[in-house]
Amino acid sequence: MSRRGFLSGTAALAGLWTLGGRVILAEPPKTTAARTRIRLVFSHHRQDAQGKQSEPGWPHLGYDQEARKRELLAKLRAGCPESEFLPATAYNADDAKKLLEADQEVDGYLAYMIGGWAGAGETIAAAGKPTIYVGDLYGASGEFLAATAAARRKRLRAFGVTSSRFDDVVQAVRCLETMKKLGVSTILVVGAGPGDLGKAIEQVFGTRVVPITFPEINDAYEKADRAQAQRWADKWMGEAARVVEPTAEEIAKSAAMYLALRRLLDERQAQAVTMNCLGGVYSGQTHAYPCLGFFQLNSDGQVGACEADLQSTITMLAMKYLVAKPGYISDPIIDTATNRIVYIHCVAPNRVFGPEGPTNPYEIRSHAEDRKGAAIRSLMPVDQTVTTLQFAPTRREVIIHQARTVDNIDEPRVCRTKLAAEVKGDINKLLGEWDRWGWHRVTFFGDHKLAVEQLSALLGFTVVEEA
């Protein structure tokens, strides 16, 4: 049956609905975060009763500062509907100090420098508050450049945006929104304890880490609606480019595990789940691999992470909020002869540009190591920039490299998905950090280096460029 024929046939089944042209069986869990409260601090020269610049200096005497502030506030509210902007004006550092004393429930600061040299932004950042500097072009370049340079040198929780493209300001605000969402999110870890890493995630990001035992996931698996599981299995098989080793019965078991994961996510109001999948299956404590379930969660804009890897999970969750792209966990290999890194694993999304983006083909295969169960080979787009990283909350560091995708390797050994990419930078340097960071990395389609650097600045993380 063609993909269109499959979709038109299954859409009539009970419990299905459509979103963006794709068929889904249940609404994905959402983050119920309140809007991010941002103190918007305009700094500029003194002004007269009409709101115009009353002293000489940049931009110029008589400049309509109030009109410019209204314009910028309107653009911010339109571009950042998930944020609540609390505008204020600071002519100097003392004004900024008064704002700091009064602000108890503010999530971060946006210091918009329009003209003059007020020192307000530097004062706020020096207090340890997450602060974004924005230099209004042809307004306050001197103050912006000095403040941004000082923030970098002093390792303050601040960064600067100076751009004629307003979307760059909007993207910067997403860093504050990401921090807010992480602070009210929950990660489930199945079949493993949170440990010191879980504690660090809670301390640094505010994200709760909740352990789930194998008996709990098994109970949810047994309670899964088998008819609904069969509809999911039919959907996956119908949309796959091919199904190789797994039987329809095995894929239906994977669908029941997916419904079990969804049940736990819904019950705990969680936004991400990771599972000790190998330990559970190899020991006989669980009845199916979660690979297809993780594939579906990640393609739909949620987070399903392999091997109880909390460091990769918090990375995927942070980037979901920051750039709205799913992550692909891998155990990479490096080929110095071709300047390539190959990202390898048995779980991968097929909507690598986000849940509303285009799909890429996938195959349903057995899990590679034991040739059992059901897993995914995703044939991801080539000639695309990818950004690969890991956040390490225990060290307050993030490691990052970039590459250009070139091929989907067809090789029977090791895991099913094998995305090859040419490394940007020094491939020999890329050999240098695996003992400190472990084998896993998380890959995201797109050039997200600047966004990662900006979020890291507000978190107080050091960026380690590994290539």
pLDDT digits (tens, 9 = 90+) for 128-162: 999 999 999 999 889 999 999 999 999 999 999 99
14 and 118, same domain (yes or no)? no
pLDDT digits (tens, 9 = 90+) for 347-389: 999 999 999 999 999 999 998 888 899 999 999 999 999 999 9
Predicted pLDDT of residue 278: 82
pTM to 2 decimals?
0.91
127 and 230, same domain (yes or no)? no
Last residue of one domain, picked from the residues 125, 147, 181: 181
Predicted pLDDT of residue 6: 31
Name the pLDDT band for 212 (thresholds 50, 70, 90): very high
pLDDT at 16 over 80: no
245 and 176, same domain (yes or no)? no
Name the pLDDT band for 1 (thresholds 50, 70, 90): very low
Predicted pLDDT of residue 17: 28
Average pLDDT over residues 448-452: 98
Tally the residues of the chain: 467
425 and 460, same domain (yes or no)? yes
Average pLDDT over residues 117-133: 94
398 and 422, same domain (yes or no)? yes
- Angle in degrees, 0-180, between the axes of helices 310-323 and 195-205, rounded to the nearest 10: 20
251 and 335, same domain (yes or no)? yes
430 and 306, same domain (yes or no)? yes
284 and 327, same domain (yes or no)? yes
**Phi, psi dihedral angles at 126 (to 5 degrees):** -65, -25
Average pLDDT over residues 438-462: 97
**Residue 431 DSSP class:** G
Average pLDDT over residues 164-173: 97
**Per-residue buried b or exposed e for 95-133, using 16+ beta carbons within 10 Å of the residue's own CB:** bbeebbeebeebbbbbbbbbbbbbbbbbbbbbeebbbbb
The chain-wide mean pLDDT, for the chain, equals 91
The domain tally of the chain equals 2
**Lowest mean pLDDT: which of 9-23, 37-51, 97-111?**
9-23
pLDDT at 28 over 60: no
Distance CA 463, CA 460 (A): 10
Of 31-35, 238-242, 287-291, which has the strongest mean pLDDT? 238-242
382 and 419, same domain (yes or no)? yes
| Domain interval for residue 339 | 3-31+183-465
95-98: long-range contacts, CB 8 A cutoff, minimum separation 24: 95/120, 96/41, 96/120, 96/121, 96/123, 96/124, 97/123
Last residue of one domain, picked from the residues 163, 181, 199: 181
Distance CA 427, CA 438 (A): 17
Tokens of 42: 């305009």
**Lowest mean pLDDT: which of 12-26, 180-194, 229-243, 440-454?**
12-26
Which is higher by pLDDT, 235 or 371? 235
Kindly write down the DSSP assignment for every residue of 291-314, as one continuous string.
HHHHHHHHHTT-EEESTT-HHHHH
pLDDT digits (tens, 9 = 90+) for 256-282: 999 999 999 999 999 999 999 888 788
166 and 283, same domain (yes or no)? no
**Residue 353 DSSP class:** T
pLDDT digits (tens, 9 = 90+) for 186-205: 999 999 999 999 999 999 99
Report the largest interatomic distance among the alpha carbons of the chain, rounded to a whole angstrom.
78
**Phi, psi dihedral angles at 91 (to 5 degrees):** -85, -15
Name the pLDDT band for 10 (thresholds 50, 70, 90): very low
Last residue of one domain, picked from the residues 181, 204, 223: 181
Name the pLDDT band for 302 (thresholds 50, 70, 90): very high
The CATH number assigned to the domain holding 51 equals 3.40.50.10940
117 CB contacts (<8 Å, ≥6 apart)? 140, 142, 143
pLDDT at 12 over 50: no
430 and 457, same domain (yes or no)? yes
Predicted pLDDT of residue 5: 34
Q: Which amino acid is at 116?
A: G
Predicted pLDDT of residue 105: 86
152 and 190, same domain (yes or no)? no
Name the pLDDT band for 33 (thresholds 50, 70, 90): low
Kindly write down the DSSP assignment for every residue of 58-104, as one continuous string.
SS-TT-BHHHHHHHHHHHHHHH-TTEEEEEEEESSHHHHHHHHHH-S
